Each structure stands twice: as structure tokens, then as C-alpha cells.
Chains A and B, each alone.
Chain A
Amino acid sequence: MSKQEWRWLDLGALDPVDTQVIYDAVSVARGRNLVKDTIIFCYPVSPLVCIGYHQEVEKEVDIEVCKRFSVPIVRRILGGGAVYLDGDQLFYQIVVSQKNPMVPPQVEDAFKHFLKGPVEAYRSLGIPAEYRPINDIQVKGRKISGNGATTTVDGVFVLTGNIILDFNYDMMVKILRVPSEKFRDKVFKSLQEYLTTAKRELGLLVSMEEAKKVLLEGFERTLGINLQRSHLTPEEKQLMQTLREKYLSDEWLFMPEHRHPQLVKARVVKVATGISVVESAYKSRGGLIRVTMEIKEAKINDILISGDFWIYPTDALPKLEQTLKGATIDEKAINDRIYAFYKAHNLQSPGTTPEDFTKAILMAAEGEAAI
């Protein structure tokens, strides 16, 4: 069987907003049958913060911090959470008609199929990367690529992701809106632990040219296609112009009609598949209980409890936290551990019951479950 001929757009450094406008424009052109199935390579000339299609910008991102650092915030047409993107990441953007028999109907299968290219690319660089369902690439349990997808009403499947050469953990954490500094510290530590980069794995910074070369080969080899270098058509350039205006509008960025009527009481940042940092503030009669927790595979991996409730003996909290590590996110499992701890340490907490702690933990976890 002869190989499929696809179009390859190697666009280099783009205006940060255009890195998200481009695949939207190409998907419209593909939907109108104006262009062939396409893979785009690009990276932003300066950093941007990119939020998921259904997210509320003020809840996720500290807009003031972004302004201070002159980092634009862009809503993408794809799902997922807020991310910090910069020129140390090579973006790949796959725009393919669903009619192409290569595209599996199930989303998970489609991720698996198209992420073979980036997995191969990392391997060519000497990093033993592997696909992790549904949408991650990982190396030794750490995420090394973030990916999202959409299907348009015109029947075009779009998948975008990144080869992470290096990552600015500090900026990522700065731009996120968080309920407390404790939460911010926890997200920072979790990101450092569960998100890695080519630089960290190899001990050196791979050049953008090298990354492009291995990624191009990776896609051609694993998908069995020829990628012919090409350029944007005049229609696509026109579409970009129109879409750019939309992307820069308040209606698009803030989506005012999509506000949630009430604020959720829990805050969640998903770090990688199966790993989240969550926080809740639960009001017990004896005072506020604040729970900051890292959840790994539906278990408490780490937990910090603070607040203004009373507890005696006063040094009991760190030990209670220790007791809860490893507990399954389940009302009975958590309750049992807390009760046993109360009994063993003769704990007193006027106005705050053991069940209140369980409720605070479950409330934080519920936010995670909603994701």
C-alpha cells in the first residue's frame, strides 16, 4: 500500500496567540477540503498561558501576575487545564479528517495512535518514553508531554501536544490562581516530581532543530506517512486573521455566558494522569479546616491539614497527617484511620469531630473526582 501524503507546516517561532489560532484555522480549512491532512510544528516566540476550552479564566489563572510578566492568556479550542507554554517546548498539531481511515473512532485510540510519533521522537533522543492512557507520554512514571484533542462539527480531528525540552516550573506555579501559599508550594513540588523534561532526563538541552528532526521522523515512521513540507494557503492566512480577532476578544477569553453560578469550595490542579493537588476549606463548629492534599491513583499521597480549629495535644497534627498517607479516598477508610488515631493519642478537638476531618478530605477529593 502506498504511503499517505500529508502536509507538514514547519512554522518556527510564532506570535504566542497564533500558536493556538493556527490549528483552529487549519482545521476550518481542512473541514472545507481546502487542504490535506496536516501536521504543524511551531513554538511561541514569547511565553503564553493557555487555558482549556471550558475553563473560567479568573478561577484558574492569576490575571494580575500574567499582566505583570506581559504573558498573554489564550483560550484554546481543546480541553484540559491551564498551562504555561514557552519557546522551550516544540508544539505538534495534528489536523486530520475523520474520514481518513487512519483515525480511530474512539478518542483514546486516537491519542494512542497519534502519540506514537512523539514517543518515538523521545526515544530517538535517548529517553525511554511510553504512551500512558489517555493522553500522556511518560518516562519512568513522570509526564513528559501534555496533549489535548477536539473533533470539529465539520468532522476534523485535532490533536495538539508538546515535546518539552525544558520547563519553567516557577512560572507555571506563579501564574496559577491558588487558594493559599501552602497549596502553591504543594503544586510546585508535585510538578517537579511528576513532570519531567528532555533536559532533566538527558542532562543537556536538546536544540529545537534536533527536536524537530526526530519528531518529523517519528511521525513519518509510526504513522507510515510522507510529510511534505508546505506553507499556509491564502485562505488559511485569512482565516487566521479572522480567528485572531475572536481569540483576542473578551467574549472569547472570558466566555461570560458560561460563568458557573456558584464558586466551588475546592481547588484542583491536575499535575499528570492520576496525580492531582487539591485543597478544600471546610467549616466545622470548632473552626475552619483547610486540607491540602496530593492524590495519587485515588490514594492520599501527601496531606497537609491546617486551620483555626483547636486540637490537643497540639503536636498531634503532623502525626495525623502521617497516619492518613496512603489511605484510599473512601469515607470509611479515612474515618477508620482518624478514629483509631483519636483513640490511640487520646485526642481532643472541641467543636471539631473526627467526621469533620473526613468531610474536609472528601470535599477536597470531590473536586478531583469532578475532573
Chain B
Amino acid sequence: MVKLFEKYEYLEGLYYSKDHLWAKIEDGKVRVGLTDFAQQIAGKIRFIRLRPSGVKVEQGKTLGTMETGKWVGPLVSPLSGTVIEVNGDLRMKASLVNEDPYGKGWLSVLQPTNLDEELKTLWTDLNKMKPWLEQEIAKYVKEK
């Protein structure tokens, strides 16, 4: 189910980090990506560079980078784990993240190492997330 906060789409059943990435549990593995809010705020994404398969990433550390206009920003991993798959389509077409952030624009799949503990630090109840998200929207979208 898609839920709209203003013009930003969120899917029920996913986990969300304060760094605006989503995580989806798939048979004990975790697929991660950028939220619709983050891609809308970022604007057209020109490049995505992801840490390759086999690399261990920590929650809150860099999973990769993205470039929009003349700005490079970090993609902050929502969970700790080992990268087991990266979305190769983003190399040629990073704007898939803009077009389909929860689908074709996924970033990486992780084999999580501390899933149960770390999931507690993410939002999954969209109603509980709402007040924080409203603050974020106010922060990034003011006077536009």
C-alpha cells in the first residue's frame, strides 16, 4: 500500500531510516533504496556509485554516493551487513532512482549482520514516522 505525505510516496511494510533510505526484508536479506522524498529533494540524480558485493557496511556509514548537479552526497546505509548484490542498471541510468525509487531504482541487497537490533532504530509504522517526516519536509521544502 502506498501512503502519501504531501506529494511524497511511502510504502507500507518497509523500514525507513533518518537518512531517508528504505529497507525491505526479503527472506532474511535486505534490499535498500532511497525514499521518494529523498529523490524528489535531490532532483535529477546523475550518478550513483555503490560499494561492491562482498564489502561490509555499517549502519550509518556509507553504502555509496550520488551526484546531482554539482553536489555529491553520501548514501547512508540503514543497516549493517555485507553487500551481496548491487543494482548494475544504475551505472548507466542513475535516474532510475528518480523514476522508480521503490522498484527499478533499488540500490543494494545486504546480508544483514545485526538485523533484529537495528530494525528497532528504523521506522515501520508510518503514522509514528509522520511527525518527524513533517519536520523534514518543513526543513527541506521551506519557501519553495
Contacts and interface: CB of A to CB of B under 8 A. Distances in A.
A106 B92 contact: no
A153 B68 contact: no
B93 to A, nearest CB: 9
B41 A106 contact: yes
A289 to B, nearest CB: 23
B71 A106 contact: no
Contacts of B71: 78-79, 107, 135, 148-151
* A contact patch SS: loop
Contact of B72 (A134, A150, A257): A150
Contacts of A105: 139-140
Nearest to A149: B71
Interface in B81-132: 88, 91-92, 95
* B contact patch SS: mixed
A108 B70 CA distance: 10
Which of A79, A258, A261, A262 neighbours the largest number of chain B CB atoms within 10 Å of its CB? A79
A78 B140 contact: no
A82 interface: no
B69 A152 contact: no
Contact of A107 (B52, B69, B95): B69
Contacts of B91: 258, 260-261
B13 interface: no
A147 interface: yes
Interface residues of A, number: 29
Contacts of B139: 105
B47 interface: yes
Contacts of A108: 69
A54 B46 contact: yes
Contacts, number: 73
Interface in A32-57: 52-54
A371 interface: yes
Contact of A54 (B67, B69, B76, B140): B67
B52 A79 contact: no
Contact of B47 (A54, A78, A107): A54
A64 to B, nearest CB: 26
Contacts of B49: 53-54, 255, 258
Nearest to A257: B52
A79 B60 CA distance: 22
A12 interface: no
A371 B95 CA distance: 10
A147 B46 contact: no
Contacts of A153: 60-62, 74, 76
A134 B52 CA distance: 31
Which of A54, A78, A151, A257 neighbours the largest number of chain B CB atoms within 10 Å of its CB? A54
Nearest to A259: B91
A326 interface: no
A258 B88 CA distance: 10
B76 A78 contact: no
Contacts of A204: none
Contacts of B76: 153
Interface string A236-258: 00000000000000000001011
Given A79-B67, A257-B52, A371-B46, 7 more contacts: A53-B47, A53-B65, A54-B49, A79-B72, A105-B139, A148-B71, A262-B92
Per CB-CB distance, the 8 closest pairs between chain A and chain B, nearest first, are A54-B47, A150-B72, A153-B74, A79-B67, A135-B70, A148-B70, A107-B71, A79-B72
16 contacts: A54-B46, A54-B72, A105-B139, A107-B69, A107-B71, A107-B73, A134-B69, A134-B70, A135-B69, A135-B70, A147-B70, A151-B72, A153-B62, A255-B49, A261-B88, A370-B95
